């Protein structure tokens, strides 16, 4: 099947198998390797991207379902300038990553959350990131990073 999709501002037209997952298309055909393959079962959220501005786990979306859509990956979040996106900067500043495997998915889920709710509470951040797993940091610094990026000054408690 032929698809046409815009990924990080670049238009791609490719022939794909009907069963090809979006995460595999992004990595193998579009070269967007910043989106990791985590569990391949939609449980971990590491492969989260924005599809027409909404976060999706790209291991649960077929590439053909993205036909005509706009996809933003972690690599496209910063834009053309090369400067870090405020979420990326906040994750760095708050030490919200350790091994980094979950980081792209966490940031993309947070980007969707902040687009819907620019000033979330700690609880809203935790709810918004539910479904994205981190095995290293215990989430405290991740929540702080999202609140920092949102401009929130709330103190995060355990």
Q: What is the pLDDT of residues 127-157, one digit of tens each?
A: 999 999 998 877 999 999 999 999 843 344 3
More confident residue, 152 or 58: 58
pLDDT attached to residue 107: 97
Q: What is the CATH number of domain 86-149?
A: 1.10.150.120
Report the alpha-carbon distance of residue 38 to residue 24 in Å, rounded: 11
Instruction: Evaluate if residue 158 carries a pLDDT over 50.
Output: no
Looking at every residue in the chain, the average pLDDT score rounds to 92
> Which CATH entry fits the domain spanning 2-77: 3.90.1170.50, 3.40.50.2300, 3.10.20.30, 1.10.3720.10?
3.10.20.30
pTM for the full predicted model: 0.92
pLDDT attached to residue 151: 87
pLDDT attached to residue 84: 92
Angle at CA 110, nearest 5°, toward 100 and 86?
80
State the CB neighbour count (10 A cutoff) for residue 133.
17
Could you state, in order of their start, the residue ranges of all structural domains in the chain?
Answer: 2-77, 86-149
């Amino acid at each position: 099947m032929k698809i046409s999709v815009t990924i990080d501002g670049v238009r791609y037209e490719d022939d794909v198998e009907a069963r090809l997952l979006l995460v595999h298309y992004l990595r193998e055909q579009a070269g967007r390797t910043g989106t990791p393959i985590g569990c391949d079962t939609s449980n971990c959220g590491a492969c989260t991207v924005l599809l027409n501005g909404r976060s999706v786990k790209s291991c649960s979306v077929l590439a053909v379902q993205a036909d005509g859509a706009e996809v933003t990956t972690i690599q496209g979040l910063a834009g053309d300038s090369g400067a870090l996106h405020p979420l990326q900067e906040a994750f760095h500043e708050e030490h919200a990553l350790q091994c980094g495997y979950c980081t792209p998915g966490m940031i993309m889920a947070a980007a969707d959350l902040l687009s819907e709710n620019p000033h979330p509470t700690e609880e809203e951040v935790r709810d918004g990131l539910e479904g994205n797993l981190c095995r290293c940091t215990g989430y405290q610094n991740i929540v702080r990073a999202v609140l920092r990026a949102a401009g929130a000054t709330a103190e995060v408690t355990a």
